[in-house]
Amino acid sequence: MPDDVRERKFGAVFDWFDQDGDRFLTKDDFQALAALFERAAPADRGAAAGAIREGFDEWWRLLLAHGDRDGDERIDPQEFAALMFSDITADGNFDATVVKIADGFLDALDTNGDGVLDIEEYVRLFDIVGVPPTASGEAFRRLDRDGNGVISRDEFRLAIREFYLSADEDAPGNWLLGPLDRAA
């Protein structure tokens, strides 16, 4: 049963990553997703945008290297879920892909340079990637663990780790993209 929670999250991530809706992930999907995330970065945040692109490029390389058994350079939903469990969420790989993107994302969205995300920055970020403000506003409240009105880098990383790694249905990080039943 615990893996059911992660399977649902990985299915939602697949749907979100499948930018062209063809039920396969391709390099084009990952490039489109990286571009979408990069658009959130102000022009003076080139390093953050570069980290986002590098993280998505590495994620795609790992998917191809470990899951493209037939060499068609496409990953289907079942392959994606299996790879998320076996390879992407492995310690070194997780930091080189997901955490790298998350750090770049936080740096890109921290428009006032104070090292944290306030609710306006957070909602703006997730609006750019298609999460409705009502969902991202509630997510912000749940992810602000200490209730100080901002999400720190540690809180953001904890949310990322819970979203991808936790099998606990009630983990606050499951709200990263809004309610778990609409995580895509």
Give the DSSP letter string of 72-109: SS-B-HHHHHHHIIIIITSHHHHIIIIIHHHHHHHHHH
> What domains sit in the chain, N to C, each tagged with a CATH number?
2-182 (1.10.238.10)
The angle formed by the CA atoms of residues 146, 95 and 49, to the nearest 5 degrees, is 85
Closest Cα to residue 53, out of 15, 111, 97?
A: 97
User: For residue 1, what pLDDT is reported?
Assistant: 43
Q: How far apart are CA 173 and CA 171, in angstroms?
A: 5
Distance of CA 42 to the CA centre of its chain: 19
Amino acid letter, 70? D
pLDDT interval class at 48 (50, 70, 90): confident
pLDDT interval class at 183 (50, 70, 90): very low
User: For residue 182, what pLDDT is reported?
Assistant: 52
What mean pLDDT do residues 124-147 have?
87
Report whether pLDDT(72) > 60. Answer: yes
Average pLDDT in the chain? 86
pLDDT interval class at 184 (50, 70, 90): very low
Q: How far apart are CA 179 and CA 134, in angstroms?
A: 10
pLDDT interval class at 34 (50, 70, 90): confident
Report whether pLDDT(163) > 50. Answer: yes
pLDDT interval class at 124 (50, 70, 90): confident
Which residues partner with 75 through β-bridges? 25
